[in-house]
Structure 1
Amino acid sequence: MSDLATSRGPVPLYFGMRGDRLAVSTLFLVNGFLVGSWAPKIPVLMARLGITESVMGLLILVFGLGSIAMMPVIGALTAKHGSAPLLKPATFALLPMLFLLTLAPELITTAVVIFVFGGLIGGMDVAMNTNAVAVEKRMKRAIMSSCHGFWSLGALLGAALGGVLLGSVGEFAHGLIITALATAAAVLALPLLAQDQPTPEAKAATPLKFPRSPLPYLVGVMALFSMIPEGAILDWSALFLQQKHGASIELAALGFAAFSATMAIMRFAGDAIRQRLGAVLTLRICGGFALTGMMIAASAPVPELTILGFAIAGIGISNMVPIAFSAAGNLPGIPSGIGLSIVTVMGYSGILIAPSAIGFIAEHTGFSPVLMGTAALILVTLALSRLARYANFSAE
C-alpha cells in the first residue's frame, strides 16, 4: 500500500464493525435504496406524463446508457485521485435526483434527469466498488460479497417502502422522504470512508488510458456472462412462468422473489465462504449452482420446479459478480479504478442492455431455449475461473 496516501492509525469501530467497512457498506445500501425506490415510481411517472410502455422502455434504456457512459469516466478519475474524493461529490449529486424526477414537468426534462440519474448511479457504483477493494486490501479479507448484499437489501427496502409511500402519501412526499432517508445515511457514512488517494508520485505515474493487458477484458467477460442470466431472470422470469406454465400473476412474481432471496442471503454469507475456500473454488461452485438452476428453470414441467430453479440460480449467481469485481480491483499493474470501470461497464451491460435482445430472440424461439442459452454462457465464466485468483489476497 505504499502508493496510497493513507492514515495508518487505528480504525475506529462502530456497532462492532470497522468504520471504513461500515461506511462503504452503507453507501452500497444507499445506492440500492435509490434504485429500488425508482422501480415502483415507474407506473406513477407513466401516468403523470401520459406515456406508453414503449416510451417508458426508452426512458429505462436512457437510464442504462447514462450509467454506461459515466462508469469509465469515474473509473479513470478514481484511478487518478482515489475513490473517496469522487464518492463524496457523486453521492451528494445523486441524492436529490429522485426528487428532481418528481418535479420534472414533461418528457424531455424527464429524459435528461433520468440520464443524469443513471449516470450518477453507475459512477457511484464504480467508486464504491473501488473503495470496497481498498478496504479489502487493508483488512486482508473479503468484504465485496456482503457489500453487494447491502445493495440488494437497500433495493428491497427502497422498493417496499416506495410502494407504501406512493400509495399512501403520493409522489411528491415519496420523493422528499426517500431523499431525506438516503441523505441522512450518506451524511453519517461519508466521513468514515477509507481514504485511498494515491501519492503524488503514483498519481503522476498513472496513465488515463485503456490498458493493453487482456486481463481486465477477460474478467469483464466473466462478469458479463454472470450478469446476463441475472438480467434474464430480473426482466423475463414472470412472463416466462405465465407463458409456459399459465401461472397466475402472484405465482409468477415468486420466480424473481425466490431468486432475489437466495441471492441476498448468499451474498452476506459469500465473504466467509470465499475466505475459506478461495475465490477460484468459490466461483466454480457458484457457477455449478447457477448452471444447474438455470437448466432446471428452463426445462421444468411445472411452475413450482421452475421457481426452485430460479432460487438455485440465485445461490450461484450471488457471488460470481462480487468475485469478478474483487479480481478487477487487484489486477497486476492496473489501477483499481481502471480495472473496475472496464469490468463494471462490461458486466452491467448484461443487465442494462442484454435483456432487450433476450426479449427479441424469445419472441421468435420462446423463453426456454433462451434460458438454456444464458445458462451456457456460464460455461465461459467457468472456463475463465482461474482469473478469480486475483481476488485472493495472496495473489500478486
Structure 2
Amino acid sequence: MSSCSSKFSNKQIRLGIFAFYICQGICFSSWASRIPDIKNYFHVGDGEWGNVLLMIPIGQILGMVLSGFLISRLGSKKVLLLALPLHVLGLIAVGLSSSLLTLMLSLVAFGFFGNFVNISVNTQGIIIENIYKKPIMSSFHGGWSLAGFFGSLIGLLMINLGLTPLQHYIFILFIVGILIIFNCKYLQPDKKSVSLESNEKTVQSIQETNNKSYKKKTYPEMFLYLLGITAFCGMASEGAMFDWSGIYFEEVVHVSKNWAPLGFAAFMIMMATGRFIADYAAQKWGKQRIIQVCGLSISIGLFIAVLFPHIIITTLSFMLIGLGVSSIIPTIYSLAGQKTKINTGMALTIVSSIGFVGFLLGPPIIGYISHAFNLRYSFALIGIFGICIFLLSTYLKVFKQKD
C-alpha cells in the first residue's frame, strides 16, 4: 500500500488519527460520567433534566448547518485542530456553570463544536481507509468507545477523590492538549479534486449512464427508510444509555454517587469490544444475524435491569446492552451504502438523519416518562425498541440478500 506521507508510515498516521478519536470519546464520556453530580447540583427533576439534555443535540444540529461548508473550504485538518480545543472548552464551561441557563448554553456550545469534531475526524478516518484499501473505520469507532470506557473510569476516580466536575474537566483538557500536540503532525490534507480533464470525462460518463438508465428507478428505495427506523431504535437506545445510565444506578439501583459511573463504564467497555469484533462477526454469521442478536441483547439487558435493580445484575445487564448497541449502526450504514441503487451519500444521509432523530429524542423522552411515572418505565420502553430492531431485521428483505 502506498504511504500517505513521505515523513511517516501508514501505521504511524493511522495511530495518530486514532488518537483524535480517543480525544472525542474521552470528552463525551467525561461529561456523561458526571451527569448525576451535575443534575443533583442544580436540584432538577427528571422532566426538567430532559430539557437540559436536549441542548447537546440542538448544538449538534446547529453545527451541521456550517460544518460541511467550512470543512469543504478549510479542510478537515484545520477544522479539527480548531474545533477540538473549543469542544473541550465547552466542557470547561459546563464545569463553570452556576445557573441552569449557563449550563444549557454551555451544552449547546459543547454539542456545536462536537459536531465539527465528529465530521472532521471521520473525514480524516475515510482518508486513511482509502489509503489502506480495506475497512478500518470500525476500529476507529472502537477507539472512541474504548476512550469512553476509560473516560468513565477517570470520572469514577475523580468522584471518589472528591474532585468537582470543573477540576475533572481541567484534567481532561490537559490530556486532550497533550494528545493534540503529539499527534497533530499526522493529520492529512483532504483529497483534492481530480484534474479538469478527468472531471470532464467523469461528467460525460455520468451523462451517458443517465441517458441509458433514464427509465430505471432513481428514487430512494423503501428499505432505506426502514433501515433508518432500525437505526432510530438503535441510536435512541445508545443515547439513553449515554445520558441516563449513571442516574439509573443512583436513583433505581440506589448505589452511592461514588459508584454511579459504574454502569456507564460497563456499557462502554462492551460497546468498544463489540465494535472491534463487528467486521469479523458480520463476515462469519451475516449482517442479518448480527442485527437480530443486537436487538435481542438490548431488550434482554434492559428488561433484566428493570426487573432486577441490583448492582451486580444491573452492571452485567448494561454490558449486554453495550454489546447490543455496538454493531447496529455500523452494520446498517454498510447495508445502506452497498444495497442501494441511488448515490451512496444520499442513502447514508437518509438513514443517518432518521437515526439521529432517535439519538435526539431518546434521552429527553426518558426524562419525560420518568417524570410522569418512574425511570424503570422509561428503560422498559427502550427495551421495546430492541424488539423492534429484531423484528425489522428479521422481515426486511435487504437483510436476506447475500452480504
Q: TM-score range by the shorter chain?
A: 0.7 to 0.9
Shift of 1:31: 0.7
Q: Aligned pair count? A: 375
Gapped regions of structure 2 (runs ≥ 5) = 204-217
Q: Distance in 2 between matches of 1:382 and 1:335?
A: 21
Q: Distance in 1 between matches of 2:294 and 2:335?
A: 16
Gapped regions of structure 1 (runs ≥ 5) = 1-7, 206-210
Q: 1:163-202, aligned counterparts within 5 Å?
A: 163-165=156-158, 167=161, 170=164, 173-199=167-193
TM-score norm. by structure 1 comes to 0.72
Q: What is residue 385 of structure 2 aligned with on the other side? A: 374
Q: Tell me: CA distance 1:178–1:105, structure 2 relative to 1, closer, same or farther (3 Å).
A: same
**Corresponding position: 1:354 with 2:362:** yes
Q: Tell me: CA distance 1:11–1:199, structure 2 relative to 1, closer, same or farther (3 Å).
A: closer
Shift of 1:355: 2.8
CA radius of gyration, larger in: 2
Q: What is residue 42 of structure 2 aligned with on the other side? A: 51
Q: Distance in 1 between matches of 2:23 and 2:273?
A: 18
Q: What is residue 319 of structure 2 aligned with on the other side? A: 311
Q: Distance in 1 between matches of 2:164 and 2:298?
A: 40
Shift of 1:378: 1.0
Q: What is residue 331 of structure 2 aligned with on the other side? A: 323
Q: Distance in 2 between matches of 1:360 and 1:193?
A: 42
- Does the CA-based 8 Å contact 1:224-1:350 persist in structure 2? yes
Q: Distance in 2 between matches of 1:67 and 1:153?
A: 22
Corresponding residue SS for 1:199: coil
Question: Structure 2 counterpart of 1:127, which letter?
Answer: S
Q: Tell me: CA distance 1:235–1:104, structure 2 relative to 1, closer, same or farther (3 Å).
A: closer
Q: Tell me: CA distance 1:357–1:326, structure 2 relative to 1, closer, same or farther (3 Å).
A: same
Shift of 1:66: 0.8
> RMSD value over aligned CA atoms?
4.5
- Does the CA-based 8 Å contact 1:291-1:378 persist in structure 2? no
Q: Distance in 1 between matches of 2:29 and 2:369?
A: 28
Q: What is residue 265 of structure 1 aligned with on the other side? A: 273
Shift of 1:43: 6.1
Q: Tell me: CA distance 1:299–1:247, structure 2 relative to 1, closer, same or farther (3 Å).
A: closer
- Does the CA-based 8 Å contact 1:129-1:340 persist in structure 2? no
Q: What is residue 63 of structure 1 aligned with on the other side? A: 56
Structure 1 range deviating more: 297-306 or 216-225: 297-306
Structure 1 range deviating more: 185-194 or 230-239: 230-239
Same amino acid, percent of matched pairs: 26
- Does the CA-based 8 Å contact 1:264-1:318 persist in structure 2? yes
Q: 1:140-179, aligned counterparts within 5 Å?
A: 140-165=133-158, 167=161, 170=164, 173-179=167-173
Q: Tell me: CA distance 1:256–1:178, structure 2 relative to 1, closer, same or farther (3 Å).
A: closer
Q: Tell me: CA distance 1:310–1:91, structure 2 relative to 1, closer, same or farther (3 Å).
A: closer
Q: What is residue 208 of structure 1 aligned with on the other side? A: none
Shift of 1:332: 6.2
* CA deviations over 1:52-95 (Å, ceiling 9, x no partner): 32465433321221123323542465578764454333324324
